[in-house]
Amino acid sequence: VLFRIEEKNETIHNASSVHDLLNKIIEIGKQGISIQRYKGLSEMNSEQLRVTTMDPAVRTLIQVKLEDVVEADQMFTTLMGSRVEPRREFIQKYALQVTNLDIYGS
C-alpha cells in the first residue's frame, strides 16, 4: 500500500497505486480527505504497517528470482546504496527509456 486516505470522519482507505488512489478519491467524493504517500516502511507507525503491509488480506507478495547474482548486487548497490552520484547517473541515463514502472501490472 502506497497511499492512505483519511476522511474528516476518520474513515481510512488504502490505495496500492495511483490509479487505485484516484478511483477511491472519486468514490468518496473528494470532500474533506487527507492523502499520505508512504515512501518507505520507516515512515509508518506499527498500526499503519499492520494494515498496509503485514495484513495478508491487502498485501502483495512477489517472488524475486535472480539469474545473475553479481549483476543484481551491482544494481542494488547503484539504486539503493549510500552513494548518490551513481544513482543519479543511472536515472539520468535511463529515465527517458522507461515505459512501465508498474511491476505488478495493475
Q: Check: CB of residue 4 under 8 Å from CB of residue 14.
A: yes
pLDDT surpassing 60 at residue 103: no
| pLDDT tens digit sequence for 46-99 | 998 998 888 998 888 888 788 888 988 998 899 999 999 999 999 999 888 887
Q: Check: CB of residue 33 under 8 Å from CB of residue 7.
A: yes
| pLDDT tens digit sequence for 11-54 | 888 888 889 888 888 888 767 677 788 888 888 899 989 988 88
| Closest CA relative to residue 101, chosen from 17, 4, 21 | 17
What is the Cα–Cα distance from 8 to 32, expressed in whole angstroms? 5
Instruction: Enter the DSSP assignment of 3.
Output: E
What is the pTM (predicted TM-score) of this model? 0.41
